[in-house]
Chains A and B, each alone.
Chain A
């Protein structure tokens, strides 16, 4: 023990930087943290960047948003505009709209900050969405990451809430009509709708309270919740360690990639600046939300071709698709003297409700069907989970049909087709689009799996055509090396799991349903190539290779 006590003589730093770090380290224990995380391994793949884009967009939103709060005044008091934008000079408007104009025209760099903020918001929701698609299609939501998938879904909803509350703040004509639509939707809610609307708007629409209330939600409550969810999300990423794509040397027991310091940190850190730079470029060159063109909010005028921000589009599109009257059947009912307006209530709540319910529950649905309780850290290539991929594309298609419907009038005017026809087509696609997408996607996934099998067994096409002595032409195939081959064959291909009796020896109805779903999930499948098959393929290929000539002995076809 005496030997170790001499070794524990207090460390004396030699440089100024050293003594500063030592001061901090002795008080917060930074060495331990650095030891744990400094060389932590992160797998690398381009598709892992979407989450980073979302994170960095959020940071940029916080920075640009803080700047905007210094100049924005969320008051709905009436004023007459006195700023430098002459077309609106002396026009009656709210203080909120007037201060938004001032930010655009009278604060140096204000327009740039507004545009950065708006573009970053659009990118934030978009990158969240794409990140979630990546996670879904690669099966990254499986155990142990189900809860983090849910946190991600909550983040998506919060991001949409943040976007919409912010979109409404300038109190311009376009966003005012957006609020009008929200008011109409809220009023359609049975029993509590009218009260909810009066409570939200502080009385009748539009009132004088809504902008101030949305402002508090937009700059305080929603971003605080987003920040909290991001912390939870990243904490769980650290606990789980990142997933990795399948490949040689990668399995569920390890994580292969670059150490955090220096490579991964440099790439990820540098990427922040790239995201910022791209957003700055967009804000510099592409106008977004030119509120000065719309004018102040007034319940009377509206411009043709109104569009919400893209992430609200699918709800707006659903509102457009729903017919209010079919022949003489009205979707507004009066029951016991109360009005139930299903033509608003159904499209506003049901599709979004279905999308988010299925999204939140999907990890548990798949886990129940597959009875797979193992941890998964190696991702699936989408083709190797054909049914899941098809479900994802079907859902995505459904979303896109609704999203496209939000631009039905613009589709009609740009392509010179009838607005009514566009709507009828989209109504049809609303129902059959997902079905077609499911079937087509599943077939494509299976076909890609067959292609993989073909390449694993017979090698890749070289493009070299050889004429055999008896006149036959063949294309020479080059065998893969074992690493490339493993990428094509190293996956699981689960078979349907038949119904099993429970501990009482009874096959429950629920279990039968599960078995039926399992059959639907895994019935069509392409098994990975096996070494025996490769042997057989080689033996088969050699005959032709030898026949093709001396120098092609090693090539197989």
Chain B
């Protein structure tokens, strides 16, 4: 690194080095002499500045008028178009901008050109004087003495105990902010109800999907049968149950043991909720068989059971076991075999619960 205290490549011989702090310093020459502005010396220039300020204030008046005209003259009736709203927005904005900038630039110009520009120096005062400190200490001592808190530990200790416990009701009252999680996150709407398997239906209209409609290379956004008929908690169920349905060449799927019959004729269904932080994994790259989450770019490989091949997710997308019912519609043979969506503390426990 070299010795940088020098300041120039050529050794000048008068360099301060460590431990030699008190080298001679330049004296503060004091405030530089004040320089007059044109408006201070030339009455014509001063008059001109005065006119400029007045013009700026006048611009502000025009801006206010523009705003009022745009507000009242443009009618947002039933038949208004986006173009009308844009025009009105532009005019209201321009009016406000001129109204404000006129006042602002006018005042600043007035201050800079016409008001005295002498810089003045003011002494700083000690933030705390020693005298004040001593007086404060005496006052505090007196106060403490008069309460007698040092002499009466019983009072002090019971007060501390009471104050420490008093906030507990305030905390307890927030206990009903939400229900206990229990195992709500472990289940979705795909679980068969009363022995009836749920059909895979199109998002958002809810029409069932025939296996024969799913051509190779196509992808469907899927919701469970009955979701649209829910009156309460529809979005909650949807946030767990949405599925992506795709058909690949059956030979390119490499099902692991136990998952051989989770697909039908190359048709596979995977949870659409990213295992990272829960965004919908909405982008399907047909050529590479990759699923990409647009939020944080986690990438999943369909040919490897949606294993993570890039990005911040750490777990594969859960697969939904599917089959075809008597009428040729795709159905889920069971719920997901693991919790869907982002990981949480009890997740592993829930996974064991599902598979038990």
**Smallest Cβ distance from B351 to chain A, in angstroms?**
9
A380 CB-CB contact with B under 8 Å: no
Choice from A240, A259, A408 contacting B297 with Cβ under 8 Å = A408
Which of A67-75, A129-137, A175-183, A463-471 lies at the binding interface?
A175-183
Q: Which of B106-159 contact A (CB under 8 A)?
A: 106-108, 110-112, 115-117, 119-124, 127
A-side contacts of B178, CB under 8 Å: 198-203, 207, 209
Q: Please, how many angstroms separate the alpha-carbon atoms of A28 and B88 in the complex?
A: 46
- Complex CA gap A114/B311 in Å reads 35
Q: Which residues of B contact A530 (CB under 8 A)?
A: 14, 16, 23-26
User: Are A324 and B308 in contact, with the CB atoms below 8 A?
Assistant: yes
| Docked complex Cα distance between A334 and B349 (Å) | 10
B328 within 8 A of A: no
Give CA–CA (A14, B282) in the complex, Å: 77
B-facing residues in A173-199 (Cβ within 8 Å): 177, 180-181, 183-185, 187-195, 197-199
Q: How far is the CB of A474 from chain B (nearest CB, A)?
A: 17
Q: Roughly how many angstroms separate A203 CA and B180 CA in the complex, as a whole number?
A: 8
Interface segment among A2-10, A17-25, A294-302, A391-399: the answer is A294-302
In the complex, the answer to whether B111 meets A270 with C-beta atoms within 8 Å is yes
Determine whether the beta carbon of A188 is less than 8 Å from that of B308: no
Interface: B104 (CB within 8 A): yes
B294: Cβ under 8 A from any A Cβ: yes
Nearest-CB distance from A54 to chain B (Å)?
17
B223 within 8 A of A: yes
Q: Which chain B residue has the least Cβ–Cβ distance from A341? A: B343
A388 within 8 A of B: no
Asked if residues A334 and B7 are in contact (CB atoms below 8 Å), the reply is: no
Beyond A111-B85, A339-B347, whether A266 also contacts B122 by CB under 8 A is no
- The reply to whether B12 and A334 form a contact with Cβ atoms under 8 Å apart is no
Query: Which stretch in A158-166, A226-234, A246-254, A362-370 binds the other chain?
Result: A246-254
**At the interface, yes or no: A475 with Cβ under 8 Å from chain B?**
no
One of B43-51, B210-218, B256-264, B269-277 contacting the partner: B269-277
Q: Which of B20, B108, B223, B308 contacts A274 (CB 8 A)?
A: B108
Within 8 A of B (CB), among A388-431: 408-409, 419-420, 423
**Which of A149-157, A214-222, A483-491, A548-556 contacts the other chain?**
A483-491
Given contact pairs A249-B31, A249-B121, A485 touches B26 in the complex (Cβ within 8 A)? yes
Q: A306 and B30: CB pair below 8 A?
A: no
* Contact present for A344 and B342 (CB under 8 Å): yes
The answer to whether residues A531 and B7 also contact, given A183-B278, A199-B174 and a CB cut-off of 8 A, is: no
How would residues 298 to 335 of chain A score, 1 for a CB under 8 Å from any chain B CB and 0 otherwise? Answer: 11111111100000000010011111110000111010
> For A254, A262, A343, A529, which residue has the most chain B Cβ atoms within 10 angstroms?
A343
Do B314 and A343 touch (CB < 8 A)? yes
Asked if A531 contacts B24 (CB within 8 A), the reply is yes
Docked complex: A20-56 residues within 8 A CB-CB of B: 40-41, 44
Of the candidates B14, B23, B88, B180, which one forms a contact with A536 in the assembled complex, judged by CB atoms under 8 Å apart? B14
Query: Is there contact, CB below 8 Å, between B298 and A195?
Result: no
| Residue of chain B at shortest CB distance from A533 | B14
A115–B342 touching, CB < 8 Å: no
B249 at the interface (CB under 8 A from A): no
- CB contacts (< 8 Å) of A108 on chain B: these are 71, 76, 88
- Please, how many angstroms separate the alpha-carbon atoms of A253 and B76 in the complex? 61
Provide the bound-state CA to CA distance between A301 and B110, in Å: 55
Given A251-B28, A319-B312, A341-B343, verify A450-B108 contact (CB < 8 Å).
no
Decide: A449 and B7 in contact? CB cutoff 8 A: yes
Cross-chain contact B100 with A180 (CB below 8 angstroms): no
Q: A199-B174, A338-B349 are in contact. Are A300 and B119 (CB under 8 A)?
A: no
The answer to whether A320 touches B312, judged by C-beta atoms less than 8 angstroms apart, is yes
User: Does B78 interact with chain A (Cβ within 8 Å)?
Assistant: yes
Identify the stretch in A350-358, A503-511, A519-527 within 8 Å (CB) of chain B at 4 or more residues.
A519-527
User: 4 nearest interchain CB pairs?
Assistant: A284-B93, A184-B277, A273-B104, A270-B107
Jot down 11 A-B pairs with beta carbons below 8 A, ordered by A.
Answer: A187-B343, A188-B342, A192-B345, A204-B236, A258-B119, A273-B104, A302-B280, A338-B346, A423-B310, A486-B26, A527-B5
